[in-house]
Amino acid sequence: MKFFKTNKKIKLFFYIFFICSIITIFNNNYLNDHKTNNTNIEKDETVNFQTNEKDEKIKIHFIDVGQGDSIFIELPNNETMLIDAGESSKEEVVSEYINTLGYNKINYVIGTHPHSDHIGGLAHIINSFNIEKIYMPKALSTSKTYENLLNTIYKNNKNIITAKAGIKIIDEDNLKINILAPNNNNYSNLNNYSVIIKINYKSKSFLFMGDAEILSENEILTDVSADIIKIGHHGSDTSSSESFLSKVNPKYAIIMVGENNKYNHPNQTILDRLERNNIITYRTDLNGNIVITSDGNEINVKVSR
Ligand SMILES: [Zn+2]
């Protein structure tokens, strides 16, 4: 009996020891699992961080709108900019392009100058998207397209910020967007009112000329050097003088131009000038949509044809 009792005690002791062991093992495992989970969270954060890094690129879409300009820019700070929107007949092309990229908001809209091949589609854009700021030059035009645009801006309770040289649209450490022109407020040719935009992102820069002609090119006193230039006035010889091109000294040039257009743009003199200066040239009439991506150090060009 006594022996049995002792045996029972031993059994009880082992039983308690067994239970304790199980609890300890369970706790350890739980803690380990918990640690693993933490590690996973850290890993996930690393992945997200890398994704953000990847997103910290500038993406410039030269949208093929035939004879006209429309450039949509996804900025590395997650804001967006639209420079012009082509003729009104191309307004849906532009709005669908931006919609497809997943945006319903445009932070900065630039209407370079009142010609219909630049501002024609802008009224539709202003009606269709949530617009933050609109920049346009103080130029007078009595065209129906221009009046319609001004009415649309007014009806949407938006203001126009007068675009002129010296305005800083964005002034961050790695990202700067400056207006280089117009430098005057009285031109006989509407093209010279064109808002010229320069974007600097880290070590790369991008220059957008609108339809600015040689008169306006010569008025710019600030640094025009850029890796990429959107050639002025669809490659017409009214723009892109030899001296201006050498100051810009770009690696790539983009000409936005319609197939078989009635103006014979681009001009052969300009194409020869670009080639002689070893500037790689892309054209919307030949290449369709042109998309330039840069992390601020390298530049990648993709074309749709
Ligand atoms: Zn034009």
8 A C-beta contact, residue 117 and residue 67: yes
Q: What is the pLDDT of residues 73-94, one digit of tens each?
A: 999 999 999 999 999 999 999 9
Residues with CB under 5 A from ligand 1 (ion): 117, 211
Distance 84 CA to ligand 1 centre (A): 10
For the chain, first and last CA: distance in Å?
A: 97
Distance 87 CA to ligand 1 centre (A): 10
Q: How confident is the model at residue 7 (pLDDT cuts 50, 70, 90)?
A: low
Q: Are strands 160-162 and 168-171 parallel, antiparallel or unpaired?
A: unpaired
Half-sphere exposure of 251 (CA within 13 A, CB side): 9
Residue 78 in tokens? 């997650």
Distance 267 CA to ligand 1 centre (A): 14
Q: What is the pLDDT of residues 179-227, one digit of tens each?
A: 999 999 999 999 999 999 999 999 999 999 999 999 999 999 999 999 9
Distance 276 CA to ligand 1 centre (A): 25
